[in-house]
A = this chain, B = another copy of it.
Amino acid sequence: VDAERAAALIAIDWGTTVARAYRLDASGALLATRSADLGIQRVTGGAFAAALGALLGDWEADAVPRIACGMIGSRQGWTEAPYVECPAELAAYAGAMVRTPGGELAIVPGVTCRDATRVPDVMRGEETQLLGAVSPDEPRVLAVLPGTHSKWALVEHGKLVAFATYMTGELYALLLEHSILGRMAAQRTTDEADAGPAFLAGFDRGSGAGALAHILFGARTLALAGELAPHEVRDWISGALIGHEISGARIWASRFGADTERVRVVGAPTMVERYMAGLARAGIAAESGRADAAAQGLWLVAGRAGLVH
């Protein structure tokens, strides 16, 4: 990271709660990163131009193209970039970008798909991370992007073939903040590992058969029985939800003939660690994707669209 070198592209991953800007040089190398709590939910009255200025600071002076992905292209964002349909690849994203009215940003579209029962699914931002995390040379990769709404995706030679969303992170927050389970949970002590015994016990429970609505009640009954300490409740619930997700996603991926014995985990280090631990527990070979996947993906779309050369 070298802030002095000349920028060739400003790339922004602009989500619901956070906006993250990357300054890239002419070789696509990452020079610097800035982030702000200026996700689209926190920008009021459509003041996106001002939010962009606050996010970029003195980078505004860079006379280089700007590209963004994520919820900034949703109906609630700056300018709507309609979904492209799955299967989708680099050329489709580059060809379907939408500019903000003042020309401030080129926005990468999200992707939509339909499952066997015609229920749709959507992503915005993760399609770009996947471009950065999976090389076009790779014949077939099963990837997970953990988060509030975790995405599992099957990518073949750079083409997004299918994906499915799991509300794992949102359910975790709801249960901890508002449910009877959350009332039994105490903060973890700081010297405990993120993916320790309580996480793994919850993971095993969540990975097994049974309805999630029943599995989760185990956090209450184990705590009532004194078999789960208050400071372990959070990790147990996190493990149960992630176990449930991984178990369900493997069944989902197997429908596409995917090898579910190997999974790439792409995302923030804390979440990646938990998923890696869970995948290892399930006997699945896990590898972590590059940390700057979004920046790399935006660089590739910008290149394909002729914004950089």
Contacts and interface: CB of A to CB of B under 8 A. Distances in A.
Contact of A211 (B119, B166, B217): B166
A79 interface: no
A186 interface: no
A271 to B, nearest CB: 15
Given A120-B224, A222-B120, A224-B122, A213 B212 contact: yes
Nearest to A225: B120
7 shortest A-B CB distances, which residue pairs? A211-B248, A212-B212, A166-B213, A120-B221, A165-B217, A174-B174, A119-B218
Interface string A120-152: 111000000000000000000000000001100
A117 B120 CA distance: 36
Could you say which interface size class chain A belongs to? 35 or more
Contacts of A117: 205, 208
A49 interface: no
Contacts of A214: 164-167, 245, 248-249, 252
B252 A210 contact: yes
A249 B211 contact: yes
A121 B221 contact: yes
Contacts of A213: 150, 166-168, 171, 212, 241, 244-245, 248
Interface stretch (A18-26, A85-93, A101-109, A175-183): A175-183
Contacts of A121: 217, 221
A177 B178 CA distance: 10
Contacts of A245: 211, 213-214
Given A122-B224, A167-B214, A212-B213, 17 more contacts: A117-B205, A119-B205, A119-B221, A119-B222, A120-B221, A120-B225, A150-B213, A166-B217, A167-B179, A168-B213, A174-B174, A177-B178, A209-B251, A211-B248, A211-B249, A213-B244, A214-B252
Q: Which of A120, A209, A211, A241 has the most CB of B within 10 A?
A: A211
Contacts of A217: 121, 149, 165-167
A247 B249 CA distance: 19
A210 B241 CA distance: 13
21 contacts: A117-B205, A117-B208, A119-B205, A119-B218, A119-B221, A120-B224, A150-B213, A164-B214, A166-B217, A167-B179, A167-B214, A167-B217, A170-B179, A170-B180, A174-B175, A174-B179, A178-B178, A211-B244, A211-B247, A212-B212, A213-B248
